[in-house]
Amino acid sequence: TATVSGAGTVPLASGMNTLNIKVTAASGAVRVYTLSVYRTPSEGGGNVAAPTLSSTKYRIQDTIQGIAPDTAAEEFLKGFTLSDPSASLMVVDGQGVRVTGAVGTGCVLHVFKGDILFSVYPLLLRGDVNGDGALSVVDLLKIQQHLLHVRSLTDHWLHAADVSKDGAVSIVDLLKTQQHLLKVTVIEQ
């Protein structure tokens, strides 16, 4: 049984707030988790409306899909419309660094209004299991290693490996990726 220290109420300022949570395991090992909480500022006593993101080019669900391989960040961002002209978009990689090259699995689209982050959307490119925005023999190898239980895929990379979109990663996905690389078929994004 683990214990968490620091109970109670934490006041949140408008914008980003960083909270450190200390957890002590039964073994005595201590880990500190950082939690980032964004609080929407109030103007005139009311809440600021969150900007709405839409696209006729991409599918926006819990992830953004429909991205062609080798799509540059600048071109990707042109595929969206925001309900608020003062809002902005930025694509970051898994470490939070702004992406200027190709977007891929593991990148995240951020929706801002001013310096307030309102929404985040992970990107999912079917077949791109290494996150470089391209479909290559490296992705094929990673799917193969997953199937052989050498190195497991998790999170969005696991979903990216499911190129057949049947909810599981199987030999079918490996073969479809191989056929795509050989230009026999094209993986539908």
Nearest to 175 by CA among 187, 189, 188, 159: 187
**pLDDT in tens for each of the 189 residues of the chain?**
666 666 567 777 766 777 777 888 888 888 887 777 766 655 444 456 788 999 999 999 989 999 999 999 999 999 999 999 999 999 999 888 899 999 999 999 999 888 788 889 999 999 999 999 999 999 999 999 999 999 999 999 999 999 999 999 999 999 999 999 999 999 999
Q: How many CB atoms lie within 10 A of CB 124?
A: 24
How would you write 114-148 as a 3-class SS string?
CCEEEEEEEECCCCCCCCCCCCCHHHHHHHHHHHC
Q: Any idea how long the chain is?
A: 189
Separation between Cα atoms, residue 89 and residue 117, nearest integer Å: 10
Global pTM exceeds 0.85: no
